Chains A and B, each alone.
Chain A
Amino acid sequence: MRVKVFLEKENAHKSMEIPKDHTIESLLKRMKINPQTVIVSRNGEVVTEQEILDDKDELKIFSVKLGG
Chain B
Amino acid sequence: MPDSRFERQLLVFGKSRQRRLAKSRIAIIGCGGLGSVAAQYLAMAGVGFLKLIDSDNVELSNLNRQFFSHSDLGKPKVSCLKDRLEQLNPETKIEAVKEKITEKNCVQTIRDCDVILDCLDNLEIRLVLSDACESLGKPLVHGSIQGLSGQQITLLKGSGYLRKIFRNKLPTKGKIPVLGPAPGFIGSLQAMEAIKLITGFGKPNTRLLVFDGERNSVEYVNIKR
Contacts and interface: CB of A to CB of B under 8 A. Distances in A.
Interface of A: 8, 11, 34-37, 39, 41, 44-48, 60, 62-68
B165 A39 contact: yes
Contacts of A67: 33, 121, 144-146, 172, 176, 178, 183
Given A66-B121, A67-B146, A44 B222 contact: yes
| SS of B interface (majority) | mixed
B136 interface: no
18 contacts: A36-B169, A37-B170, A39-B166, A39-B221, A41-B222, A46-B165, A60-B219, A62-B151, A62-B221, A64-B170, A65-B145, A65-B146, A66-B126, A66-B144, A67-B121, A67-B172, A67-B183, A68-B144
B215 interface: yes
Nearest to A67: B176
5 smallest CB-CB distances across A and B, nearest first, come from A68-B121, A67-B176, A36-B170, A65-B146, A45-B222
B169 A68 contact: no
A46 B169 contact: no
A66 B212 CA distance: 14
Interface string B23-55: 000000010111100000000000000000000
Given A39-B165, A66-B146, 8 more contacts: A8-B210, A36-B170, A39-B208, A46-B208, A63-B146, A65-B150, A66-B144, A68-B143
B222 A66 contact: no
Contacts of B176: 66-67
Contacts, number: 82
Interface of B: 30, 32-35, 118-123, 126, 143-146, 149-151, 164-172, 176, 178, 183, 208, 210, 212, 215, 219, 221-224
A39 B119 CA distance: 19
Given A36-B169, A67-B145, A46 B164 contact: yes
Contact of A45 (B33, B145, B223): B223
A47 B122 CA distance: 22
Given A37-B169, A39-B165, A66-B123, A60 B221 contact: yes
